[in-house]
Structure 1
Amino acid sequence: MATDRSLEVRAVAAVFLTLAAVTTILRCYVRLVIVKAFGWDDTIMVVAMLFYAMFCGCMIGGSIYGTGKHLIDLSNEQRTTAMEYWFLCDIGYALASILCKVSVSIFILRVTINRIHQIVIGIVGGIVIAAGFTFFIMLLVQCHPLSYFWTRLASNPNTGTCINIDIVIGGLYAFSAASALFDLTIGILPIMLVRKLKMRRDVKIAVAGLLSMACVASIAVIVRIPYINTLHSKDFLYATTPIAVWSNIETGLGIFAGSLATLRPLLRQFHPSTGPGYPSPWPSSRGGGKRSRSMPLHSLETPIHDASRLHTDERLYNTTIYSVEPGERRESGEDSADQSPILPKWGGMAGREDVERGGGAGGINVVREVVVVRGE
């Protein structure tokens, strides 16, 4: 049997801190620079990342003093310092995990318009947040005075009392169950979100996959559950190492996956073909060809193929600007793959509002195409 697992503790903290930090930074770049729409979900995820960094830092610090080692191999000072780091890890874990789930909930709510889906997200989100904050408060009041939590393993501990450890274990079980339920729900729901959207099949799979990435944290939660009873162990710092490791993996994967789901605009900058192929709401002038255009999932509706839904006095101007080399010719209605629009196909919000309003019979669809010829 291994007698020192401190290296494992440090390695896990360093690896998942790096993964979470990189994706969070990229998320901020996408939302601030590319999309220019930094929302509450992004802000909350950044705060969650800060608490996760605290968690990882304290985990690494604790491993230096005694986390992952047998008590018999540690001095009183090492035991006390390692337990103090352990307590701070608990605080960082609880807050980072709760905030990460709040951020993911807001993100999913932004891309769904189905009322039932919104209610489901609200219910499971409320359950996990309530369980998380209950566990967090339990951590703060479990010992009196609070310092007794990290001095109790010393050979000459200070005077103090702690609540029955079974209460803390019950709180962690409840939070773990709520977290697993939340992660699995968030993993399944995106499949239902994109099922009826007018997209190519491969794009549906890609979008659902990205949105479902947040459920991977449930694997770590489920793996951790059998180790929760090790909180009873007298050799606390060594026996509870799996709880520390899998709690770190759970939170790191949650932040990593939750941020990864927002990075499609960045991928499209490097690989335009990864953009979703949404059907154009109007047939082209040559055989109904379709051109891709991007818009958030929450603004997607069933495309309008019937011009009779527009009022006779309403007009939709659909403008596409193409870029061609000098001497090139482009036939009207041509939809070749190498002539992607360099400006959005929709010429402003007014045009979209005309479509969404719908209306009576007989409409006019005016398509304007502007060809920009590059200079010599």
Structure 2
Amino acid sequence: MVVAMIFNLAFAICTFAGAKYGFGQQMTWFIDKPGYLRYALLYWWLGQNFYLVTAIIAKISIAMTLLRITPNKIHAVILYTISALTILVGTMFVLVSIFECTPVDFFWNRLTKSGKCVDPNALVGIAYTASVVAAIADFILGLLPCFIVWNLQMNRQTKIALAGIMGLGCIAGATVIVRIPYLSAYKHADFLHATHAVSICSNIETGVGITASSLATLRPIFRFLRDTTSGSRSRKRPTENSYPLSSVANNSDKHHWADTVGGYHSMSTTITGRQPSMQNGVFTSLIENLGVKGVQFEELISLDADTIRSLRSIPPISPLPNPPVTNKTYKIKSPVYGVIFLFKYLRDQTPTTPEAPIDGTYDKTAPENLFFAAQTIQNACGTQAILSVILNQDSASSTPYPIDIGDELRSFKDFTTGFPADLRGEALSNSETVRTAHNAFARASPFVDETVRTARDEEGDVYHFIGYTAVNGTLYELDGLQPYPISHGECDAEGFPEKVIGVLQRRVARYPEGETRFNLMAVVRDLRARAREIGDVEMLQREERKRRAWDWENTLRRSNFVGFIGEVLKGVVGMKEKEGKFDEWVQKAKGETERRLRR
């Protein structure tokens, strides 16, 4: 779109310069200004060609933008077809316009040179064809966003506003239609005067098209101006007025993000009287379902740097089949890609400001290769914290062992490159691949109505996941509820354990004395791969047993045992009735219940 704006600027300059030399004037006006006619024709010729190139590039740019946000294959086919037609017909019109006369400069030197130009009727016919294609393209590019945004994960008001903004292209299409009756002026003998309406409509068409496709990029600017003038935060912490503490979407909604990992995987999870815990098998299986290879999660039982360092250098337990000759204390080095921290959100904690968080500093000029997404929906902060680490450790510049994130996540990361944090968060929340993998670990329960929130839910404890990882020599805290990534200073792979533990200890110290409900999980290389590298058979077998246990636990998690329990209960009741001891059994059970209640 920047290229389109450059050509449109050139078009506007030609329009202003041409107006000075006689655009819109009748031929009699040039009788006493013969030198002006040459420049008027030259600027008309240049302006038309700049307009044609601008229109082509603007439409292609809008189509490419829509391709980045639509997962629908039919929409993609439509957009590619429109792009191909626009390029084909537009290029044909540009070539005819440039070489309309032979020699080319005869167009503006016709008073002093000899030459010839194409039949005006042929030129008008090509102009009609190009205008019809342009009008169809503008209307499709204007109406298609309505269908694209309707299934996005956002409220109806936002959908309508976004569709309206992106649909401004319809105005450009209407302008093209209005211009069509004036195209016959191309064959008018006094065409500098006759084509003034064509010039006006062309300026409106390109201006509206460029404006419509650029409006979305103004959002970060407006947010910055709002924050600097009013002192308001660009993204608030969850409160009872901003984020409900329980899901309000029904599980039947295909765009619903389920509450997973035992109720601790949500953005703002209500927990009453329970100790939060992480399940390494769930997180490991989740990223494997997303196509990530060679990574697993390890829960850390103590908040000290030695625990993290121990994950980077593991000595072999059993003898190596071919031990290195020059290294008697052979250890395999392996990175800790980052850590995921689960903590209780304090409602009465001093809030952060747009200028500075409680700890660290906002990196408002973070490097482009840093993946940071704002959290825009509930029940996704666990998945988002995981991806914040994984997607920042996939290149050799970040780690000696880059993570293989797979085709799906690679495509998603490439797709969102250059997006602001809020738009990247919207893209994440609307990713069918990520949502499907996330929801695969939701607990099956036919009795949970997530559309109902109780006062107890709203008053319960709220927990949140965030990620810490080192990128480009800096330790970053990646919290989707913050407006920017938080920098905690310089940090390399060797210094990561001490640096991140220091940050976490300062965070924990801000909690009331006796608060112990925290969990920390490290993102590390697959321990099975490391076992194979050092030839540790015992470690490999232990990790394989762990994986089988994880698979079994995940299978149980996704299973609904209500039917099984019902069948077992019916079998027991049938057996008691057959033995004639059903009433006696019921009375005994009642007595046991009464005794428990009296204790």
TM norm. shorter chain > 0.5: yes
CA shift digits 1:154-190 (9 cap, x unpaired): 3xx4210111111111111111111111110011111
Q: Following the alignment from structure 1 to structure 2, what is the Cα–Cα distance between the partners of residues 330 and 274?
A: 16
Distance 2:177 2:171 in 1: 11
Is 2:21 aligned against 1:65? yes
Alignment TM-score, normalising by the size of structure 1: 0.68
Alpha-carbon distance between aligned partners in 2 of 1:73 and 1:167, rounded to the nearest angstrom: 28
Quote the residue 1:163 is aligned against: 118
What is the match of residue 256 of structure 2? 303
Given the alignment, which residue of 219, 222, 225 partners 2:177? Answer: 222
Counterpart in the other structure of 2:5: 49
Match of 1:187 in 2: 142
Query: Is 2:258–2:442's contact at 8 Å kept on the other side of the alignment?
Result: no
Partner residue in 2 for 1:85 = 43
Deviation at 1:266, TM superposition (A): 2.9
User: Could you tell me how far apart the structure 1 residues matched to 2:233 and 2:21 are?
Assistant: 48
1:97 is matched with which residue: 55, 61, 73?
55
Normalised to the residue count of structure 2, the TM-score between the two structures is: 0.44
Are 1:251 and 2:331 an aligned pair? no
Q: Does 1:108 align with 2:76?
A: no
Aligned pair partner of 1:288 in 247, 250, 271: 247
Structure 1 pair 355–199 and aligned structure 2 pair: CA distance change class (3 A): closer
Which residue in 2 is equivalent to 1:235? 190
Q: How many residues align structurally?
A: 299
Following superposition, the deviation at residue 287 of structure 1 comes to 4.2
1:29 alignment counterpart: none
Query: 8 Å contact 2:138–2:172 — kept in the other structure?
Result: yes
Distance 1:371 1:134, change over 3 A: farther
Structure 1, unpaired ranges of 5+: 1-44, 278-283, 291-300, 332-340
Relative to structure 1, the CA distance from residue 355 to residue 51 in structure 2 (aligned partners, 3 Å threshold; closer, same or farther) is closer
Preserved CA contact (<8 Å) 1:321 1:371 = no
State the AA in 1 paired with 2:146.
I
- Report the 3-state secondary structure (helix = DSSP H, G, I; strand = E; otherwise coil) of the residue aligned with 2:25: coil
State the partner residue of 1:314. Answer: 282
Instruction: Work out the CA distance in 2 between the residues paired with 1:121 and 1:149.
Output: 36
Please give the root-mean-square deviation of Cα atoms over the aligned residues, in Å. 3.9
Q: For residues 287-309 of structure 1, what are the alpha-carbon distances to aligned partners after superposition, in whole Å with 9 as ceiling and x for unaligned?
A: 4369xxxxxxxxxx823215389
Residues 2-81 of structure 1: pairs in structure 2 closer than 5 A: 45-74=1-30, 75-81=33-39
1:42-97 deviations in whole A, cap 9, x for unaligned?
Answer: xxx11111111111111111111111111111033211211011111111111111
SS of 1:224's equivalent?
helix
Question: Could you give the per-residue CA deviations for residues 261-293 of structure 1, whole angstroms, max 9, x where no partner exists?
Answer: 33233334455899999xxxxxx8944369xxx
Deviation at 1:128, TM superposition (A): 1.5
- Secondary structure in 1 aligned to 2:96? helix
Which of these residues, 168, 171, 175, is aligned with residue 130 of structure 2? 175
What does residue 120 of structure 1 align with? 78
SS for the counterpart of 1:263 is helix
User: Aligned partners of 2:216, 2:180: CA distance in 1, in Å?
Assistant: 27
> Which residue in 2 is equivalent to 1:133?
91
In structure 1, C-alpha distance between the alignment counterparts of 2:463 and 2:129, rounded to whole Å = 59
Q: Match of 2:27, as an amino acid?
A: L
Q: Distance in 1 between matches of 2:126 and 2:508?
A: 64
C-alpha displacement of 1:215 = 2.7
Q: Point out the structure with the larger helix share.
A: 1
Q: Tell which deviates more after alignment, 83-92 or 343-352.
A: 343-352
SS in 1 for 2:57: helix
- The one-letter code matched in structure 2 to 1:135 is F
The answer to whether the Cα contact below 8 Å between 1:314 and 1:354 also exists between their aligned partners in 2 is no
Quote the Cα distance in structure 1 between the aligned partners of 2:187 and 2:233. 51
1:120, CA displacement in angstroms?
Answer: 0.6
Structure 1 residue identity aligned to 2:93: F
Q: How does 1:256-295 map to 2 (within 5 A)?
A: 256-270=211-225, 286-288=245-247
Instruction: Describe the shift of the 1:189–1:96 C-alpha distance in structure 2 as closer, same or farther (beyond 3 A).
Output: same
Q: 1:267 to 1:48 in 2, by over 3 A?
A: same
* Residues 1:354 and 1:224: Cα distance change in structure 2 (over 3 Å): closer
Bigger mean CA offset, 194-203 vs 226-235: 194-203
In 2: Cα distance, 1:194 partner to 1:200 partner: 10
- Secondary structure of the 2:104 match is coil
1:318-357 Cα offsets, whole Å, 9 max, x none, are 86997x9xxx8269xxxxxxxxx99944325158787553
Identity rate, percent: 30
CA shift in 2, pair 1:354/1:136, >3 Å = closer
Paired position in structure 2 for 1:26? none
Q: Indicate if the aligned counterparts of 2:15 and 2:44 stay in contact, CA closer than 8 A.
A: yes
Structure 2's unaligned 5+ residue stretches are 237-242, 266-278, 287-339, 351-357, 363-372, 376-383, 391-427, 445-461, 467-506, 511-599
